[in-house]
Protein backbone atom coordinates (compact mmCIF):
# COMPACT_ATOMS: atom_id res chain seq x y z
CA UNK A 1 0.00 0.00 0.00
CA UNK A 2 1.55 3.32 -1.03
CA UNK A 3 1.71 6.49 1.03
CA UNK A 4 -1.40 8.09 -0.49
CA UNK A 5 -3.52 5.01 0.26
CA UNK A 6 -2.33 4.83 3.87
CA UNK A 7 -2.96 8.54 4.28
CA UNK A 8 -6.59 8.17 3.27
CA UNK A 9 -7.09 5.22 5.60
CA UNK A 10 -5.78 6.53 8.94
CA UNK A 11 -6.46 9.58 11.13
CA UNK A 12 -3.70 12.17 10.76
CA UNK A 13 -2.90 14.71 13.48
CA UNK A 14 -0.70 17.68 12.60
CA UNK A 15 0.85 18.69 15.90
CA UNK A 16 1.75 22.31 15.15
CA UNK A 17 0.60 24.86 12.58
CA UNK A 18 0.93 28.61 13.06
CA UNK A 19 -1.61 31.37 12.53
CA UNK A 20 0.80 33.24 10.24
CA UNK A 21 -0.87 32.21 6.97
CA UNK A 22 -4.23 33.34 8.37
CA UNK A 23 -2.74 36.73 9.26
CA UNK A 24 -0.98 37.10 5.92
CA UNK A 25 -4.06 36.25 3.87
CA UNK A 26 -6.15 38.63 5.97
CA UNK A 27 -3.58 41.38 5.42
CA UNK A 28 -3.95 41.11 1.62
CA UNK A 29 -7.73 41.37 1.79
CA UNK A 30 -9.08 37.82 2.10
CA UNK A 31 -12.16 37.82 4.34
CA UNK A 32 -12.37 34.08 5.13
CA UNK A 33 -8.83 32.67 4.79
CA UNK A 34 -9.32 29.65 7.04
CA UNK A 35 -12.60 28.58 5.48
CA UNK A 36 -11.72 29.40 1.88
CA UNK A 37 -8.01 28.48 1.67
CA UNK A 38 -6.31 26.91 4.70
CA UNK A 39 -8.86 24.30 5.77
CA UNK A 40 -9.65 23.06 2.22
CA UNK A 41 -5.95 22.55 1.51
CA UNK A 42 -5.35 20.66 4.77
CA UNK A 43 -8.38 18.45 4.07
CA UNK A 44 -7.13 17.79 0.54
CA UNK A 45 -3.77 16.72 1.96
CA UNK A 46 -5.21 14.30 4.51
CA UNK A 47 -5.18 16.22 7.81
CA UNK A 48 -7.99 15.32 10.21
CA UNK A 49 -6.87 17.35 13.23
CA UNK A 50 -4.53 20.33 13.32
CA UNK A 51 -3.14 21.80 16.53
CA UNK A 52 -3.39 25.45 15.54
CA UNK A 53 -1.20 28.10 17.18
CA UNK A 54 -3.77 30.91 17.15
CA UNK A 55 -1.34 33.26 18.95
CA UNK A 56 1.85 33.25 21.01
CA UNK A 57 5.03 35.12 21.85
CA UNK A 58 6.58 35.88 18.46
CA UNK A 59 6.19 39.46 17.26
CA UNK A 60 4.45 38.06 14.18
CA UNK A 61 1.84 36.39 16.41
CA UNK A 62 0.87 39.87 17.60
CA UNK A 63 0.38 41.06 13.99
CA UNK A 64 3.64 43.02 14.43
CA UNK A 65 2.10 45.30 17.07
CA UNK A 66 3.36 43.94 20.41
CA UNK A 67 -0.29 43.88 21.61
CA UNK A 68 -0.24 40.20 22.53
CA UNK A 69 -3.47 39.96 24.54
CA UNK A 70 -5.50 42.09 22.15
CA UNK A 71 -4.35 40.38 18.97
CA UNK A 72 -4.84 36.92 20.50
CA UNK A 73 -8.48 37.87 21.06
CA UNK A 74 -8.74 39.19 17.50
CA UNK A 75 -7.17 36.05 16.00
CA UNK A 76 -9.49 33.77 17.97
CA UNK A 77 -12.50 35.90 17.06
CA UNK A 78 -11.68 35.55 13.37
CA UNK A 79 -11.51 31.77 13.76
CA UNK A 80 -14.75 31.66 15.72
CA UNK A 81 -16.45 33.79 13.07
CA UNK A 82 -15.30 31.60 10.19
CA UNK A 83 -15.91 28.11 11.61
CA UNK A 84 -19.75 28.38 11.82
CA UNK A 85 -19.82 29.66 8.23
CA UNK A 86 -18.00 26.59 6.87
CA UNK A 87 -21.11 24.37 6.55
CA UNK A 88 -19.64 21.77 8.90
CA UNK A 89 -16.20 21.66 7.30
CA UNK A 90 -14.44 23.23 10.32
CA UNK A 91 -15.01 22.27 13.95
CA UNK A 92 -13.14 22.80 17.22
CA UNK A 93 -11.81 20.30 19.72
CA UNK A 94 -12.86 21.32 23.23
CA UNK A 95 -13.39 17.92 24.90
CA UNK A 96 -12.11 14.40 24.33
CA UNK A 97 -15.44 13.55 22.69
CA UNK A 98 -14.62 16.03 19.91
CA UNK A 99 -11.53 14.07 18.83
CA UNK A 100 -11.77 12.24 15.49
CA UNK A 101 -12.23 8.50 15.92
CA UNK A 102 -11.94 7.84 12.18
CA UNK A 103 -11.30 9.67 8.92
CA UNK A 104 -14.24 11.98 8.21
CA UNK A 105 -13.95 13.07 4.55
CA UNK A 106 -14.44 16.75 3.82
CA UNK A 107 -13.96 17.93 7.41
CA UNK A 108 -11.15 19.08 9.67
CA UNK A 109 -10.93 19.71 13.41
CA UNK A 110 -8.76 22.38 15.00
CA UNK A 111 -7.35 22.33 18.53
CA UNK A 112 -6.45 25.91 19.48
CA UNK A 113 -2.96 26.49 20.92
CA UNK A 114 -0.74 29.31 22.22
CA UNK A 115 2.93 29.17 21.17
CA UNK A 116 4.07 31.01 24.27
CA UNK A 117 1.93 32.66 26.94
CA UNK A 118 2.61 36.38 26.45
CA UNK A 119 -1.14 36.85 25.70
CA UNK A 120 -1.91 35.89 29.33
CA UNK A 121 -0.18 39.08 30.51
CA UNK A 122 0.70 37.36 33.78
CA UNK A 123 -2.94 36.67 34.65
CA UNK A 124 -4.33 33.27 35.61
CA UNK A 125 -7.79 34.76 35.02
CA UNK A 126 -6.85 35.34 31.39
CA UNK A 127 -5.89 31.66 31.11
CA UNK A 128 -9.37 30.66 32.25
CA UNK A 129 -11.01 33.14 29.91
CA UNK A 130 -9.05 31.84 26.95
CA UNK A 131 -10.11 28.34 27.99
CA UNK A 132 -13.72 29.56 27.82
CA UNK A 133 -13.05 30.78 24.26
CA UNK A 134 -11.84 27.32 23.27
CA UNK A 135 -8.08 27.33 23.93
CA UNK A 136 -7.00 23.78 24.78
CA UNK A 137 -3.21 23.75 24.42
CA UNK A 138 -0.32 26.01 25.36
CA UNK A 139 3.44 26.31 25.39
CA UNK A 140 4.58 28.16 28.49
CA UNK A 141 7.32 29.90 26.47
CA UNK A 142 8.58 30.56 22.97
CA UNK A 143 12.25 31.42 22.28
CA UNK A 144 12.56 34.33 24.71
CA UNK A 145 11.68 35.08 28.33
CA UNK A 146 8.12 35.76 29.45
CA UNK A 147 6.23 35.76 32.76
CA UNK A 148 6.28 31.94 32.89
CA UNK A 149 9.94 31.20 32.27
CA UNK A 150 12.83 31.18 29.81
CA UNK A 151 12.89 30.00 26.21
CA UNK A 152 15.79 28.34 24.43
CA UNK A 153 17.39 31.66 23.42
CA UNK A 154 17.75 32.68 27.09
CA UNK A 155 20.16 29.96 28.15
CA UNK A 156 22.86 32.42 29.23
CA UNK A 157 21.10 33.14 32.53
CA UNK A 158 20.29 29.57 33.52
CA UNK A 159 16.76 30.63 34.47
CA UNK A 160 13.85 28.21 34.38
CA UNK A 161 10.19 28.18 35.29
CA UNK A 162 8.76 31.05 37.36
CA UNK A 163 6.19 30.72 40.14
CA UNK A 164 3.56 31.95 37.70
CA UNK A 165 4.73 29.32 35.23
CA UNK A 166 4.13 26.62 37.84
CA UNK A 167 0.68 28.08 38.55
CA UNK A 168 -0.25 28.05 34.84
CA UNK A 169 0.86 24.43 34.37
CA UNK A 170 -1.13 23.28 37.39
CA UNK A 171 -4.24 25.19 36.31
CA UNK A 172 -3.92 23.95 32.74
CA UNK A 173 -3.71 20.39 34.06
CA UNK A 174 -6.82 20.97 36.19
CA UNK A 175 -8.78 22.38 33.25
CA UNK A 176 -7.73 19.64 30.86
CA UNK A 177 -5.38 21.64 28.62
CA UNK A 178 -2.32 20.25 26.88
CA UNK A 179 1.00 21.64 28.13
CA UNK A 180 3.65 21.65 25.41
CA UNK A 181 7.34 22.08 26.31
CA UNK A 182 8.53 23.01 22.80
CA UNK A 183 11.00 25.93 22.85
CA UNK A 184 11.56 25.67 26.62
CA UNK A 185 15.11 25.75 27.95
CA UNK A 186 16.53 22.77 29.80
CA UNK A 187 16.02 24.10 33.34
CA UNK A 188 12.39 24.98 32.73
CA UNK A 189 11.80 21.72 30.90
CA UNK A 190 12.57 19.53 33.90
CA UNK A 191 10.92 21.93 36.34
CA UNK A 192 7.74 21.67 34.25
CA UNK A 193 7.83 17.88 34.44
CA UNK A 194 8.05 18.15 38.24
CA UNK A 195 5.14 20.60 38.41
CA UNK A 196 2.82 18.70 36.08
CA UNK A 197 0.07 16.32 37.17
CA UNK A 198 -0.71 15.13 33.62
CA UNK A 199 1.41 13.95 30.68
CA UNK A 200 3.35 16.69 28.87
CA UNK A 201 4.28 16.77 25.22
CA UNK A 202 6.84 18.39 22.94
CA UNK A 203 4.87 19.09 19.78
CA UNK A 204 7.75 20.02 17.47
CA UNK A 205 11.38 19.10 18.10
CA UNK A 206 14.02 16.67 16.85
CA UNK A 207 16.90 14.80 18.44
CA UNK A 208 20.18 16.34 19.61
CA UNK A 209 21.63 12.87 19.12
CA UNK A 210 21.31 13.45 15.38
CA UNK A 211 21.90 17.23 15.29
CA UNK A 212 22.99 19.24 18.31
CA UNK A 213 20.67 22.26 18.14
CA UNK A 214 19.20 24.54 20.78
CA UNK A 215 15.71 23.61 19.53
CA UNK A 216 16.25 19.86 19.64
CA UNK A 217 15.96 17.52 22.62
CA UNK A 218 18.69 15.60 24.43
CA UNK A 219 18.17 11.89 25.02
CA UNK A 220 17.20 12.37 28.67
CA UNK A 221 14.53 14.90 27.66
CA UNK A 222 12.99 12.56 25.09
CA UNK A 223 13.00 9.75 27.66
CA UNK A 224 11.45 11.99 30.32
CA UNK A 225 8.51 12.86 28.02
CA UNK A 226 8.01 9.19 27.20
CA UNK A 227 8.22 8.17 30.87
CA UNK A 228 5.33 10.56 31.69
CA UNK A 229 3.26 9.11 28.86
CA UNK A 230 3.70 11.96 26.40
CA UNK A 231 4.78 12.28 22.77
CA UNK A 232 7.41 14.16 20.77
CA UNK A 233 6.45 15.48 17.33
CA UNK A 234 9.06 15.72 14.59
CA UNK A 235 10.04 19.23 13.45
CA UNK A 236 10.12 19.89 9.69
CA UNK A 237 12.54 22.81 9.63
CA UNK A 238 15.78 21.89 7.85
CA UNK A 239 18.10 23.81 10.19
CA UNK A 240 16.84 21.54 13.01
CA UNK A 241 17.33 18.36 10.93
CA UNK A 242 20.78 18.59 9.35
CA UNK A 243 23.48 20.77 7.83
CA UNK A 244 23.61 21.93 4.23
CA UNK A 245 20.87 20.75 1.89
CA UNK A 246 18.46 18.63 3.93
CA UNK A 247 16.27 15.93 2.42
CA UNK A 248 13.51 13.68 3.65
CA UNK A 249 15.99 10.90 4.41
CA UNK A 250 17.62 13.14 7.05
CA UNK A 251 14.24 13.56 8.74
CA UNK A 252 13.64 9.80 8.69
CA UNK A 253 16.96 9.29 10.50
CA UNK A 254 15.75 11.54 13.34
CA UNK A 255 12.58 9.47 13.51
CA UNK A 256 14.53 6.20 13.60
CA UNK A 257 16.73 7.61 16.36
CA UNK A 258 13.84 8.65 18.60
CA UNK A 259 11.94 5.40 17.99
CA UNK A 260 15.02 3.36 18.90
CA UNK A 261 15.34 5.46 22.06
CA UNK A 262 11.77 5.33 23.43
CA UNK A 263 9.62 3.24 21.08
CA UNK A 264 7.25 4.06 18.25
CA UNK A 265 4.43 4.82 20.75
CA UNK A 266 6.00 8.18 21.64
CA UNK A 267 6.63 9.68 18.19
CA UNK A 268 4.17 11.96 16.39
CA UNK A 269 4.02 14.53 13.59
CA UNK A 270 4.83 18.05 14.76
CA UNK A 271 5.81 19.74 11.49
CA UNK A 272 5.75 23.57 11.96
CA UNK A 273 5.81 24.14 8.19
CA UNK A 274 6.60 27.66 6.95
CA UNK A 275 5.98 27.41 3.18
CA UNK A 276 2.71 29.36 3.14
CA UNK A 277 3.36 31.73 6.05
CA UNK A 278 3.97 34.87 4.03
CA UNK A 279 6.57 37.50 5.10
CA UNK A 280 7.70 37.48 8.73
CA UNK A 281 9.15 40.28 10.81
CA UNK A 282 12.89 40.73 11.42
CA UNK A 283 12.13 40.77 15.15
CA UNK A 284 11.53 37.00 14.84
CA UNK A 285 14.85 36.54 13.01
CA UNK A 286 13.07 35.81 9.74
CA UNK A 287 14.37 38.03 6.93
CA UNK A 288 11.49 38.93 4.57
CA UNK A 289 13.84 38.96 1.54
CA UNK A 290 15.14 35.45 2.17
CA UNK A 291 13.37 32.36 0.90
CA UNK A 292 12.08 30.15 3.70
CA UNK A 293 14.26 27.06 4.17
CA UNK A 294 12.48 23.88 3.13
CA UNK A 295 13.25 20.17 3.32
CA UNK A 296 13.73 18.59 -0.08
CA UNK A 297 10.81 16.24 -0.66
CA UNK A 298 8.98 17.40 2.47
CA UNK A 299 8.16 21.08 2.01
CA UNK A 300 4.60 21.04 3.34
CA UNK A 301 1.84 18.69 4.42
CA UNK A 302 1.04 17.87 0.78
CA UNK A 303 4.29 15.88 0.78
CA UNK A 304 3.20 13.58 3.61
CA UNK A 305 2.90 10.56 1.23
CA UNK A 306 6.66 10.88 0.65
CA UNK A 307 7.29 10.55 4.39
CA UNK A 308 4.97 7.54 4.64
CA UNK A 309 6.74 5.86 1.72
CA UNK A 310 10.05 6.55 3.47
CA UNK A 311 8.81 5.01 6.72
CA UNK A 312 7.82 1.87 4.82
CA UNK A 313 11.27 1.69 3.23
CA UNK A 314 12.76 1.98 6.72
CA UNK A 315 10.84 -1.15 7.73
CA UNK A 316 7.85 0.26 9.59
CA UNK A 317 4.55 -1.61 9.31
CA UNK A 318 1.13 -0.09 8.74
CA UNK A 319 0.10 -0.26 12.41
CA UNK A 320 3.28 1.58 13.44
CA UNK A 321 2.85 4.22 10.75
CA UNK A 322 -0.77 4.73 11.87
CA UNK A 323 0.50 5.46 15.40
CA UNK A 324 2.96 8.04 14.08
CA UNK A 325 0.38 9.68 11.80
CA UNK A 326 -2.12 10.29 14.57
CA UNK A 327 -2.74 7.35 16.88
CA UNK A 328 -0.13 8.35 19.44
CA UNK A 329 -1.27 11.96 19.56
CA UNK A 330 -4.92 10.95 19.95
CA UNK A 331 -4.05 8.56 22.78
CA UNK A 332 -2.32 11.32 24.74
CA UNK A 333 -5.03 13.91 24.03
CA UNK A 334 -7.65 11.53 25.35
CA UNK A 335 -5.80 11.33 28.68
CA UNK A 336 -5.58 15.13 29.04
CA UNK A 337 -8.65 16.80 27.53
CA UNK A 338 -11.74 17.14 29.74
CA UNK A 339 -14.81 14.96 29.27
CA UNK A 340 -16.78 18.19 29.21
CA UNK A 341 -15.85 21.86 29.48
CA UNK A 342 -15.64 22.54 33.20
CA UNK A 343 -15.92 26.35 33.42
Tens place of pLDDT per residue across the chain (343 aa) = 898 899 999 999 999 999 999 999 999 999 999 999 999 999 999 999 999 999 999 999 999 999 999 999 999 999 999 999 999 999 999 999 999 999 999 999 999 999 999 999 999 999 999 999 999 999 999 999 999 999 999 988 889 999 999 999 999 999 999 999 999 999 999 999 999 999 999 999 999 999 999 999 999 999 999 999 999 999 999 999 999 899 999 999 999 999 999 999 999 999 999 999 988 776 665 555 555 689 999 999 999 999 999 999 999 999 999 999 999 999 999 999 999 988 7
Distances (CA, A) of 68 to 71, 115, 143: 5, 12, 15
Residues 177, 171: Cα–Cα separation, whole Å: 9
For residue 287, count other CB atoms closer than 10 A to its CB. Answer: 12
Residues 165, 148: Cα–Cα separation, whole Å: 4
**Verdict on whether the full-model pTM lies above 0.75:** yes
**Which residues are within 8 A (CB) of 18 and not within 5 positions of it... i.e. 6 or more apart?**
53, 56, 61, 115, 272, 277
For residue 255, count other CB atoms closer than 10 A to its CB. Answer: 22
Q: Are 258 and 283 in contact (CB under 8 A)?
A: no
Among residues 121, 110, 114, 174, the alpha carbon closest in space to that of 140 is found at 114
Residues 101, 99: Cα–Cα separation, whole Å: 6
pLDDT at 132: 98
Domains of the chain, first to last: 3-336 (3.20.20.140)
Amino acid sequence: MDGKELLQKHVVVEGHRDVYEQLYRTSIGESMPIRDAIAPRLIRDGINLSVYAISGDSYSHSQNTGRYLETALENIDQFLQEAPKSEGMISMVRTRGDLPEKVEPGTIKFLLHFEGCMPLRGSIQNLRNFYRLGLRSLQPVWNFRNELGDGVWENRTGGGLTNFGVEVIKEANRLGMIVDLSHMNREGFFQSLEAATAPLIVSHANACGMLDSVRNLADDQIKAIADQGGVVGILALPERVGKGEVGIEDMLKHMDYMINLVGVEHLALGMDFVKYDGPRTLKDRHHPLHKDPLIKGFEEIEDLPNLIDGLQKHGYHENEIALILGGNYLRVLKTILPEQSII
